[in-house]
Structure 1
Amino acid sequence: MSRRTVSLTVLALVLALLILVAPDVLLVIFAGVLFGVFLSAGGGLVQRVTGLQRGAGIALFIVLVLLALTGAFLAFAPAMFEQADALARQLPPAFEDLRDRISAYSWGPTLLSRLAPSRLLSSDGGFASTAVSATFGALGNVVIILFIGLYTAVDPGLYRRGLRALLAPPLRPRGDEVLAIADGTLRGWLGGQIISMTVVGVLTWLGLWLIGIPLAFILGLIAALLTFIPNIGPVLSAVPALLLALPEGAEQVGLVLAVFLTVQTFESYLVTPLIQKERVALPPALIISAQLLMGVLFGLMGLLLATPLAALALALVREVYVHDYLEEGPAKAQGPDRAD
């Protein structure tokens, strides 16, 4: 067996073992790498504009992002907190109104009993303790993601060289190409998501404001954030707006639906195709399937990372399996491994 085959087999076995033993850890690492790609792209842009060194460019980019977030927070915080507080006050009555409407049907009480919050609670307070532990676990994961992203952004070559060293010498040039393709795929997906989130948030805010829905700003912000989860996010973002429109009658509910459908159609069929490269574009059925699988297996973290993971997996399958193996691409065209 050649060194080329052995190196690929060992990498595949190690990855499979990690997936079986510690899949949650791999998700956190991937999230950190994704954040590192974001910092690297932003820092690279600052570096090209200012001529600074890589580390200084990334540091300046982080400062600029923090300043932008602080400025936006100071500018919109009063309205945001006011609207969030109003939303928290208005949603419970809206839920009660929806509950009363469902209870009017013969099947309503059965459905409501199955969805009762008491089913989530245990007599020993297990729900509360689980929520607390999950919160601290999430905060710890966020810290780890931030540090992984920072370290990989400051010196990505160190980690690329480490991965490259695990490959047999004849495969290393092709390994560099595949890593560059993976980096480009994640950059393209991130850029597309940021633009899509901004477009959806602004258009949703304007649309709801024009039809007179209260709390349009906070609802637009919710829509922008949930756009990070394609397909499922837009459905979730429409729920608060529909609940607020429900007491106003069917006409207002229809207008809210029209706003969300128009915004999502515009984003799906015009914005996304224009801003995403062809190699990042994913079949909708594949996205939904990946989200369903990752959400069931790994919860919220899996759902959030399902789409970039699917994009990366599709790019790797295309380059490594289809191009290099099935079509006998460059990796096999380099000749025999002389060190066998």
Structure 2
Amino acid sequence: MTDPTPTASPPAAPQTPPRLIRSGEWWSQALAVAAGICLAAAAVGVVLLILRLVNVLVILFLSVLIAATVARPVRALERRRVPPAIAIVLVYLVVLGTLGLLIVLVIPPLISQIAGVGRQLPELLDRYQELRRLYESLRQQYPELRPFEQEIGGLGGQLLSDIGTSLSRLPQRLFGLVFDVLSVMVISTLLVARRQELLRAVLDLTPPEHRERVRAVLTIIWVRLGQYLGAKLTVMLIVGALTYLALWLIGVPSPLLLAVIVALCEIIPRAGTWLARIPLFILAATAGWLALGLTIASSVAIQNLKGLVLSPFIEGSQLDLHPLLAFLSVLIGAALLGLAGAALAIPAAAAVQVIAEEIVLPWYRHRVVPAETQRGG
């Protein structure tokens, strides 16, 4: 017998060496990663810079708001062939003269009424003791309530501490306030005087095919901001005057002081109305339950008059802003910048809305939507 011939095993498949990244590909990937890191670092740096320059941005936006308001009477004078420089000086003289007249008429009685509030402190202390006795009698029925000193005394101590801290910082804050007011006046004056040059500079930086659209958007924002501030100041003046008249007729202490607080709080949309009612109702309560009830009724009547008559006919639809968007913008502005952010939130949101309606949405409809339709087809 012959031995069977052994079958040859099939040759092994050649081992493919691992694919090495070529130097060009490695450098391109490294550059992409480095570019992403640089962009992220730049974004973080921009955010930090904005947070550091918040006060400057607020001053700049407020200057634009005032300049847009002042520009309307300046343009009216220029159409009557008044030289631009003289028109600007005349408008600012009228504004400053009106403010000076208001200060002369309001500040002396306002100081006397603030002193009157100080003279009412003994009466307020008596009411404090009455509140304490009422709380202790209530605590006998509900022992789980904490002692009065822990519940109210700590709050009073914290309030006194906050008042002392605020008084110690008062000179610094007054200096900062004067500097900010002067900065706003100077910047707003320059914006009004050089508005055409600034517009041409912005258009020169814009591609030629987009210049007309950018010009239209800036014009709409400028006009709406100017209409908003003038209408808001008018509503503030009317609401303050009606509040003073109502409180004076009711017999509430310090009616002028409370009316000024109510008028100033109208700057803050939505929330400012109710913030002003806190000191209003507290001082009205010192005059008795009848005065408090009449004060609440008059406040509701004035707010309804403002919402149904004053705001629609005076403010109208200058900003054309949805109420929900307005409320959310106030919340965001208050969270970011406090009271200043809440006061400037509405015009800022209106400017953003104009940019979205006139630039972002048309670009989305003409570029993004057709591209998605072609991919889907």
Kindly state the Cα deviation for residue 174 of structure 1 after the two structures are TM-superposed. 0.7
- 1:16-57, CA deviations, whole angstroms, 9 ceiling, x for partnerless residues? 786456333222211111121122123223444x53122211
Give the corresponding residue for 2:81.
Answer: 51
Distance in 2 (CA, whole Å) between partners of 1:206 and 1:144 is 35
Distance in 2 (CA, whole Å) between partners of 1:138 and 1:195 is 24
Q: TM-score, normalised by structure 2?
A: 0.72
Kindly state the Cα deviation for residue 280 of structure 1 after the two structures are TM-superposed. 0.9
Distance in 1 (CA, whole Å) between partners of 2:166 and 2:107 is 32
Give the corresponding residue for 1:334.
Answer: none
Give the corresponding residue for 2:246.
Answer: 207
Distance in 1 (CA, whole Å) between partners of 2:75 and 2:224 is 16
Distance in 2 (CA, whole Å) between partners of 1:226 and 1:91 is 25
Secondary structure at 2:120's aligned position in 1? helix
Distance in 2 (CA, whole Å) between partners of 1:294 and 1:161 is 31
Gaps of 5+ in 2: 1-42, 136-144, 368-377
Distance in 2 (CA, whole Å) between partners of 1:91 and 1:51 is 59
Kindly state the Cα deviation for residue 321 of structure 1 after the two structures are TM-superposed. 1.8
Kindly state the Cα deviation for residue 121 of structure 1 after the two structures are TM-superposed. 4.7
Kindly state the Cα deviation for residue 80 of structure 1 after the two structures are TM-superposed. 3.2
Gaps of 5+ in 1: 1-12, 330-340
Q: In the alignment, which of 282, 286, 296 is matched to residue 257 of structure 1?
A: 296
Distance in 1 (CA, whole Å) between partners of 2:323 and 2:129 is 33
Q: Which is further off, 256-265 or 64-73?
A: 64-73
Q: TM-score, normalised by structure 1?
A: 0.79
Give the corresponding residue for 2:33.
Answer: none
Kindly state the Cα deviation for residue 169 of structure 1 after the two structures are TM-superposed. 1.3
Question: Using a 3 Å threshold, how does the CA distance of structure 1 residues 116 and 287 change in structure 2: closer, same or farther?
Answer: farther
Q: In the alignment, which of 339, 357, 363 is matched to residue 325 of structure 1?
A: 363
Q: Counterparts of 1:1-340 in structure 2 under 5 Å?
A: 19=50, 22-48=53-79, 50-90=80-120, 94=124, 97=127, 101=131, 104-105=134-135, 106=145, 109-112=149-152, 115-118=155-158, 121=161, 132-322=171-361, 324-328=362-366
Give the corresponding residue for 1:9.
Answer: none
- 1:177-208, CA deviations, whole angstroms, 9 ceiling, x for partnerless residues? 00001001101211220121121011111111
Higher relative contact order (CA 8 A, sep 6+): 1
Alignment check: 8 A CA contact 2:117 2:254 kept: yes
Give me the identity figure in percent. 27
Distance in 2 (CA, whole Å) between partners of 1:95 and 1:317 is 55
Secondary structure at 1:311's aligned position in 2? helix
- 1:239-284, CA deviations, whole angstroms, 9 ceiling, x for partnerless residues? 2221222123332212111111111111122211112343514333
Larger radius of gyration: 2
Alignment check: 8 A CA contact 2:66 2:229 kept: no
Kindly state the Cα deviation for residue 100 of structure 1 after the two structures are TM-superposed. 5.7
- RMSD between aligned residues: 3.2
Distance in 2 (CA, whole Å) between partners of 1:328 and 1:92 is 71
Secondary structure at 2:268's aligned position in 1? coil
Kindly state the Cα deviation for residue 290 of structure 1 after the two structures are TM-superposed. 2.0
Alignment coverage as a number of residue pairs: 314
Secondary structure at 2:228's aligned position in 1? helix
Distance in 1 (CA, whole Å) between partners of 2:339 and 2:318 is 26
Alignment check: 8 A CA contact 1:47 1:57 kept: yes
Alignment check: 8 A CA contact 1:291 1:307 kept: yes
Distance in 2 (CA, whole Å) between partners of 1:151 and 1:95 is 52
Distance in 1 (CA, whole Å) between partners of 2:338 and 2:76 is 34
